């Protein structure tokens, strides 16, 4: 039904399928974080390790999170920085951490945090694809209970 790649996107550059933006090294299926900041640092650090962003991007993600929560419902949050941090992004990438015990995200419980780095206005397309994938019935629940990186990748590939 809802095709995310219709007229709204026509003027934008082609965006890689979401699965391709998520390196296996950027997936942590059994993570633990004692706070929102810990969780954001965890996914941010994976983006740094993958050489997708400079380390300063992590601080920008934390500032964004303090300004307004990136919780999107379904036990999922999409931490990312503001456009002010553009200079510290090397390439489009995402990093995913699953928190089996959950993280108290300002009163909501988050089981999956997906950190996003994007060049230019690429974040709009990435957020759109991720959100579309997670709106597929049961996709968010399957992601919350995925126990291997392969499962995570398969899920995002098959639904995005």
Partner 1 sequence: MPERTVTIASAIGLHARPASLFCQAAARTGVPVILTAPSGASVNAASILGVLSLGLDHGETVTLQADGEGAEGALASLVRLLETDLDQQ
Instruction: Report 60-99 residues binding partner 1 (CB under 8 A).
Output: 64, 67-74, 76, 78, 80, 82-83
124 binds partner 1 (CB under 8 A): yes
**CA–CA distance, 143 with 152 (Å, rounded to integer):** 6
The verdict on whether 32 is a catalytic residue reads no
Q: What are phi and psi of 6, to 5 degrees?
A: -100, -150
| Cα–Cα separations (whole angstroms), residue 105 to 29, 69, 125, 137, 145 | 18, 8, 25, 24, 18
Contact indicator for 126, 5 with CB cutoff of 8 Å: no
- Which of 80, 90, 111, 138 is an active site residue? 80
**Site for partner 1, residues 18 to 57, rule: CB under 8 A:** none
The yes or no reply on residue 131 touching partner 1 (CB under 8 A) is: yes
> Which one of 36, 58, 134, 155 is in contact with partner 1 (CB under 8 A)?
134
Q: How far is the CB of 91 from partner 1 (least distance, A)?
A: 20
């Amino acid at each position: 039904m809802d095709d995310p790649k219709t007229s709204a996107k026509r003027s934008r550059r082609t965006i890689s399928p979401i699965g391709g933006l998520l390196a296996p090294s950027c997936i942590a299926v059994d993570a633990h974080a004692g706070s929102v900041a810990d969780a954001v640092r965890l996914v941010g650090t994976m983006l740094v390790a993958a050489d997708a962003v400079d380390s300063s991007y992590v601080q920008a993600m934390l500032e964004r999170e303090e300004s307004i929560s990136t919780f999107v419902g379904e036990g999922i949050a999409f931490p990312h920085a503001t456009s002010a941090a553009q200079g510290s992004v090397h390439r489009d990438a995402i990093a995913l951490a699953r928190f089996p015990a959950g993280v108290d995200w300002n009163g909501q419980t988050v089981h999956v945090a997906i950190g996003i780095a994007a060049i230019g206005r690429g974040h709009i397309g990435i957020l759109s694809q991720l959100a579309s994938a997670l709106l597929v019935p049961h996709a968010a629940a399957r992601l919350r209970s995925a126990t291997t990186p392969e499962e995570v990748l398969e899920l995002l590939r098959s639904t995005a």
